[in-house]
Each structure stands twice: as structure tokens, then as C-alpha cells.
């Protein structure tokens, strides 16, 4: 036995006991003839006291940071207690110690307050993982994993593994491909998700499936994405949307309870995609705070209707608003007193390339009931008041208005809302607000390819009452500029996302399960029959053998952990993550391979 106890478990009650601990030397402090060592393992830190009698051994076998030692001694009450450590009341008076392994000087201090920068810590990730903060994150990840599995197991779900070497059928993201040595010139793809497999499992009768599974997407890595990430992937048969929403609302509540001790009793709020876009400019709204968008003028129609608020700016000759496709406002609470410098800074903020607006109009709703704006020349005070009122502003608020092309302006206003929410401290880390977003559009128009693409994926079914629209109308878009007028633009999907604090944490849909409808869907996406057969013949074939109605969902496991852990970064919750360029800096991967490997694969490099 290397140890009788861990470094996290001894307390005052064990005083007088002889114990043996093993772990890593975190710090060494020498005071005259005695030496204190903080010994660390996964469970905590215990102070060791090495007295005079061990001085000789210490001289001959000096200890250093991160040495692995085994030490035996007696638990004693500490005179100088440390209330910040669970073991802080005691120390071990060491009688003997053995160095189990030495360590070279670590490149950074392995402590909560480390002196190591990001890159260095990633290069030596195995040392970073020794740090308490990182360990806590992995513990939380494991707790979420366990809670999800327990819930799913209790509900009859079965964990079934699906293959990683599959067929390349890119749709949406790019596939990672793997050459096959045994089939020269042919390639596997790594799955972007087990989507088609879980549907096949439904055809096979495994009516409740789940997997905590790696997915691979060769995307340009925007902030906080990983080329390989983990999903809690689920599928159920004989269900309607309502069944899925209830089941997985249950799962997330179970996770909250198990991991955070938070009892979510109320039903998760629901919002249609249209409402989300209309009120928040975003399909994953952060509903921890209000500040909803007012569509003064908009090309986006809600329920087929244009905003009636256009008259707020009618009759004025402010060209910027008159010429704009869309004019949107938000009322920022308590900011009417912003100085010129502050409004200038906000204007610069919206002009940044990421936001891409030309400028910002503001109305100050002064505490004395007067209104002052950056467009006083064009608007009477009455008009300003009318806009401010419509935006829900109160005395003391600042109304911010953006104008321009629909998509950009809506997105920018949404970003501005989030930014102001952040600045005003309205996005509290410890407040969790769940939301279902429902009724997404089935299709999205791809300007690049002048065709429809599946907004979710090609296996998502349209709302039952809208299947007819898909069947009766040709997908061809005659006039790209007017694609919104095409009947396909209004077809809603039987799809849903779960949103937590402004992040999409899960998404899924009720699936198509009839061959002819699935074929129609592929055709709507511009796929020829041959192409559909080549890519998805196996699924179309399976649908002919009694496919049950089914649907499912997948949760982004890394992101869910990060939010529950109060972090912005999913990397903090992955044991061995990649950096922003998709590199594993510890392994130095990706890297070149040997010529022999190329020869075996019969592949010639043709680097430009
Ligand atoms: N496979 C889908 C995804 O990865 C999720 C689902 O529809 O279940 O987004």
C-alpha cells in the first residue's frame, strides 16, 4: 500500500494516528531546522512537518516542487491553523519519507494562481491538469456526465456505440476524412454527429438511445469551438415534439439538481423562433434580462406581418431611417446620463467590423421628463417620446437605435443588447434561465449556391400541416433577390433548441421517417436522385422496412459544462483541448507523416 489516506481526508479527529500519504510536493518552506511541505494529490493538500531528525536525509536527497514522495508520520493538531483548507487543522509529523520520483523544475507553478500563460499551460497540459481549478472543471464535467447517464438509464435509454469511421456526406460543416489503406483512393469520414446511425437504431427497434459521444467538424474555428467536441446524443421512437421537450426538460432539471443543487420547478419557458428573432434579434436569446428590440421598421415579418410602428418615424426627413430597410431600438435602463464620451464610445463599438454598423442614434430620456437625442434636428420631442415609449423606456433610460439592412441590423442590435446587458451586470453567471426555441424555419437560403439548405439537417421533418407546401412547390428559386417570397421560406420545421443564458445547449427535431418524404427533402436541397442514393441510400433503404416515427436531440456537452461552471470557454472543461487554430500544442498535432505512410496509402502530396 502506497498510502493509508489521501491528501484531502485527514481531520482533527484523526490526531495521533499513524498515516502514510503519497503525492506531489507543491511547496517547500524551510524555517531553521524544520521544513514544511504542502503535499498534493487529487483530493487535496496536507501539510507535512519534517523535523530536525530528517535534516540529514533532506541534505542528501533534496526535495523539489512536483517531486512524488511517500511520507509516514503521525497526525497532529496544528498550532497555526489554516481555515482555507479542509485539512487546515492538522499536519503530519513525518518520521520517514521516500522519494518515489523526481521532477525537473516545472515550467510554471502548479497552483491556483499560476504564473503560466495559456500557451505554456497547454503545452504542459498534464501539469495544468494537476491544478485545482482545472481539476474542479473536470470533476464538474464528470458530474454532468453521470447525472445525464443516470437520468437516461432510469428512463430506459440504452447507450449504444456507433462507428467513428463512416462515409463522407458533408452537409453543413466540412468532414474530417481518413484515408483507407486497404481501399486505396477511398476515404472514411469522421462523424459530424451519429445522426443517421441513431435513426437506424430506431428502425432497428432500440426505441430509446443515447450516447455521450465525440463529434468531428472541420470548421473554421470561431471563438470557443473545438474540431472535436462531445454531445449527449439522444433519440426516441414513437414520440411527438411534446414528448421530447418533456423528457429532456426532465434531463436538464435533473442535471441542475445533481450538479448545482438547483431545483428548477417551473416549466421551461417556450418561445417560437419568430418571437425570438423579433424580440431579441437572435435565435438563442438570453432571457435573463429584458431590453427587448423594438422593430420601428423591419423587413422581417412576424407571422407574415410588418411592424405597425413605422409611423413613429413617418413624416420626418431623417434619411438614415427613411432609406433603411430596418430600424431597431432598445431601451437601456438607467443610462440617460451617459456622457458624450460614453455615447461616442458606443458609436465606435457598433462601427467595429464585427458589428458592422454605420452609426448609432440615441435618445436620452431625462429624469425631468425631457428628451434629448443625437437627431434633435429631425425629430420633435413628441416623436422622441413616442419612440422611447414604444421601446419601453422609462425616465432615466437611454434608447439606442440602429438602422440598415435587415439581417445585419437585427444581428447588430442583438449584439448591442447583449453588450449593454453585460456592461450593466444583467447577465449574472449564477442565474440560469432555460428556454425552448421552437418552430424554426425548415430551410435557409444559400446565396452562395442559390439553393435551399436545411437549417437543422436534412432529416428534420416539416410541420405536418406544411408537408404539402414542400410537396406541391418546386424548390427552384427564380429570383434570388426575392427568395423570401418563395413558399419554402415560410415552411416551419418540427425542430427545437434548448437555450441556456443565451447559448444553444441542445438542438434536435422530429425526423422524416418515410422514404418518399425523405427523397422529396433531398430533392428540395438540390440533390439529384443519384446523389441522394449514393450518399444516403442506406437510410432510404432502411425507411422501407418499417421505420417508426422518431425524433431526438443532442446537447453540446462541453458548452453545458462550461456554462454550469460559470466559464466562457469550453476548453477549460476538456482534458486535452485544441487551441484556436485546431492544434494540440502538447502533441504538436496535426503534423507531417512519413513518406512510408503516404506510400502505403498510395497518396501523393500536392501542397500549393
Ligand atoms: N445531430 C444533430 C446535431 O448534431 C442533433 C439532432 O438532431 O439530434 O445537431
What number of residues does the chain have? 608
Question: Which of 437, 446, 495 is closest to 466 using CA atoms?
Answer: 495
The binding site for L-aspartate consists of: 171, 217, 456, 511
Neighbours of 389 (CB within 10 A): 15
The binding site for ATP consists of: 217-219, 226, 504, 556-559
Residue 266 has pLDDT above 90, yes or no: yes
pLDDT at residue 362, as a whole number: 97
The CA dihedral of 172, 174, 176, 181, to the nearest 10 degrees, is 100
- Residue located nearest, by CA, to atom 1 of ligand 1: 195
pLDDT at residue 221, as a whole number: 75
Residue 461: pLDDT band with limits 50, 70, 90: very high
| Per-chain mean pLDDT for the chain | 95
- Residue located nearest, by CA, to atom 7 of ligand 1: 508
**Is-contact 25 36, C-beta < 8 A?**
no
C-alpha–C-alpha distance, residues 566 and 137, integer Å: 10
Determine the longest span between alpha carbons in the chain, in angstroms.
Answer: 94
pLDDT at residue 230, as a whole number: 98
The segment(s) of the chain belonging to CATH 3.30.1360.30 are 289-423
Query: Which is more confident, 449 or 10?
Result: 10
Atom in ligand 1 nearest the alpha carbon of residue 198: 8
Work out the burial of residue 49: count CB atoms within 10 Å of its CB; fewer than 13 is exposed, 13-18 middle, 19 or more buried.
Answer: middle
Rg (CA), the chain: 30
Q: Which residues, listed in sequence order, are joined to residue 96 by a DSSP beta bridge? A: 72
Task: Give the CATH class of 12-101.
Answer: mainly beta
pLDDT at residue 245, as a whole number: 98
Atom in ligand 1 nearest the alpha carbon of residue 234: 8
Residue 554: pLDDT band with limits 50, 70, 90: very high
Q: What is the pLDDT of residues 109-128, one digit of tens each?
A: 999 888 888 899 999 999 99
3-state SS record for 25-43: EEEEEEECCEEEEEEEECC
Q: What is the pLDDT of residues 275-286, one digit of tens each?
A: 999 999 999 999
Q: What is the pLDDT of residues 395-436, one digit of tens each?
A: 999 999 999 999 999 999 999 999 999 999 999 999 999 999
Q: Please give the share of the chain, as a percent, with pLDDT higher than 90.
A: 90
Atom in ligand 1 nearest the alpha carbon of residue 511: 7
pLDDT at residue 303, as a whole number: 84
- Residue located nearest, by CA, to atom 4 of ligand 1: 193
The segment(s) of the chain belonging to CATH 3.30.930.10 are 134-263+555-597
C-alpha–C-alpha distance, residues 165 and 189, integer Å: 6
CATH architecture of 134-263+555-597: 2-Layer Sandwich (3.30)
Q: What is the pLDDT of residues 310-341, one digit of tens each?
A: 889 988 899 999 999 999 999 999 999 999 99
Neighbours of 261 (CB within 10 A): 7
pLDDT at residue 105, as a whole number: 96
Residue 343 has pLDDT above 90, yes or no: yes
pLDDT at residue 580, as a whole number: 87
Whether 508 lines ligand 1, by a CB cut-off of 6 Å, is yes
Residue 172: pLDDT band with limits 50, 70, 90: confident
pTM of the model: 0.94
C-alpha–C-alpha distance, residues 316 and 313, integer Å: 6
Atom in ligand 1 nearest the alpha carbon of residue 456: 9
C-alpha–C-alpha distance, residues 339 and 324, integer Å: 27
Pocket residue to mutate for ligand 1, from 175, 193, 219, most atoms within 8 A of Cβ: 193
- CATH number for the region 289-423 comes to 3.30.1360.30
Q: What is the pLDDT of residues 215-257, one digit of tens each?
A: 999 988 777 889 999 999 999 999 999 999 999 999 999 999 9
Amino acid at each position: 500500500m502506497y498510502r493509508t489516506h489521501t491528501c484531502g481526508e485527514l481531520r482533527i479527529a484523526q490526531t495521533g494516528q499513524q498515516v502514510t500519504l503519497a503525492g506531489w510536493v507543491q511547496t517547500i518552506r524551510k524555517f531553521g531546522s524544520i521544513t514544511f511541505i504542502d503535499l498534493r494529490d487529487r483530493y487535496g493538500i496536507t501539510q507535512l512537518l519534517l523535523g530536525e531528525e530528517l535534516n540529514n536525509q533532506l541534505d542528501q536527497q533534496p526535495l523539489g516542487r512536483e517531486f512524488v514522495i511517500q511520507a509516514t508520520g503521525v497526525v497532529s493538531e496544528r498550532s497555526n491553523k489554516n481555515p482555507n483548507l479542509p485539512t487546515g487543522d492538522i499536519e503530519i509529523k513525518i518520521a520517514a519519507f521516500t522519494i518515489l520520483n523526481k521532477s525537473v523544475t516545472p515550467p510554471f507553478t502548479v497552483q491556483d494562481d499560476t504564473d503560466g500563460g495559456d500557451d505554456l499551460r497547454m503545452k504542459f497540459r498534464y501539469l495544468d491538469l494537476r491544478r485545482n481549478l482545472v481539476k474542479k472543471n473536470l470533476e464538474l464535467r464528470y458530474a454532468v456526465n453521470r447525472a445525464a447517464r443516470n437520468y437516461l438509464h432510469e428512463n430506459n435509454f440504452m447507450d449504444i456505440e456507433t462507428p467513428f469511421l463512416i462515409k463522407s456526406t458533408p452537409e453543413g460543416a466540412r468532414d474530417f476524412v481518413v484515408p483507407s489503406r486497404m481501399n486505396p483512393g477511398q476515404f472514411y469520414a469522421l462523424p459530424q454527429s451519429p445522426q443517421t446511425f441513431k435513426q437506424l437504431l430506431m428502425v432497428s427497434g432500440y426505441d430509446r438511445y443515447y450516447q455521450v459521444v465525440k463529434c468531428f467538424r472541420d470548421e473554421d474555428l470561431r471563438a470557443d469551438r473545438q474540431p472535436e467536441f462531445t454531445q449527449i446524443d439522444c433519440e426516441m421512437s414513437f414520440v411527438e415534439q411534446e414528448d421530447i421537450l418533456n423528457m429532456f426538460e426532465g434531463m436538464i432539471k435533473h442535471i441542475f439538481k445533481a450538479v448545482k443543487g438547483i431545483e428548477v420547478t417551473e416549466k421551461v419557458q417556450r418561445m417560437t423562433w419568430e418571437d425570438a428573432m423579433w424580440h431579441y434579434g437572435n435565435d438563442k436569446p438570453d432571457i435573463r434580462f429584458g431590453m427587448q428590440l423594438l422593430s420601428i421598421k423591419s423587413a422581417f415579418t412576424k407571422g407574415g406581418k410588418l411592424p405597425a410602428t413605422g409611423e413613429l418615424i413617418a413624416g420626418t426627413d431623417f434619411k438614415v431611417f427613411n432609406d433603411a430597410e430596418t430600424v431597431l431600438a432598445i431601451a437601456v435602463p438607467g443610462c440617460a446620463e451617459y456622457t458624450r464620451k460614453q455615447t461616442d464610445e458606443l458609436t465606435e463599438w457598433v462601427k467595429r467590423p464585427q458589428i458592422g454598423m454605420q452609426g448609432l442614434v440615441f435618445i436620452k430620456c431625462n429624469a425631468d421628463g425631457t428628451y434629448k437625442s443625437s437627431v434633435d434636428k429631425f425629430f420633435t420631442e413628441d416623436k422622441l417620446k413616442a419612440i422611447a415609449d414604444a421601446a419601453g423606456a422609462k425616465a432615466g433610460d437611454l434608447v439606442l437605435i440602429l438602422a440598415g439592412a435587415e439581417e445585419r441590423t437585427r444581428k447588430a442590435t442583438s449584439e448591442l443588447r447583449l453588450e449593454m446587458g453585460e456592461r450593466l451586470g444583467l447577465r449574472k453567471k449564477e442565474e440560469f434561465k432555460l428556454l425552448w426555441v421552437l418552430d424554426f424555419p425548415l430551410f435557409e437560403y444559400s446565396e452562395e449556391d442559390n439553393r435551399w439548405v436545411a437549417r437543422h439537417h436534412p432529416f428534420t421533418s416539416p410541420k405536418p400541416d406544411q408537408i404539402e407546401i414542400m410537396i406541391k412547390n418546386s424548390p427552384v428559386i427564380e429570383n434570388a433577390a426575392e427568395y423570401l417570397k418563395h413558399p419554402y421560406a415560410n415552411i416551419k420545421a418540427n425542430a427545437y433548441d434548448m437555450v441556456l443564458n443565451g447559448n444553444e445547449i441542445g438542438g434536435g427535431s422530429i425526423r422524416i421517417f418515410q422514404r418518399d418524404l425523405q427523397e422529396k427533402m433531398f430533392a428540395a436541397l438540390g440533390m439529384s436522385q443519384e446523389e441522394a442514393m449514393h450518399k444516403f441510400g442506406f437510410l432510404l433503404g432502411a425507411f422501407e422496412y418499417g421505420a417508426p416515427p422518431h425524433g431526438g436531440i443532442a446537447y453540446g456537452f462541453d458548452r453545458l459544462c462550461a456554462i454550469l461552471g460559470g466559464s466562457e470557454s469550453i476548453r477549460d472543461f476538456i482534458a486535452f483541448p485544441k487551441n484556436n487554430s485546431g492544434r494540440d500544442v502538447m502533441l504538436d498535432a496535426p503534423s507531417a507523416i512519413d513518406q512510408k505512410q503516404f506510400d502505403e496509402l498510395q497518396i501523393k502530396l500536392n501542397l500549393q
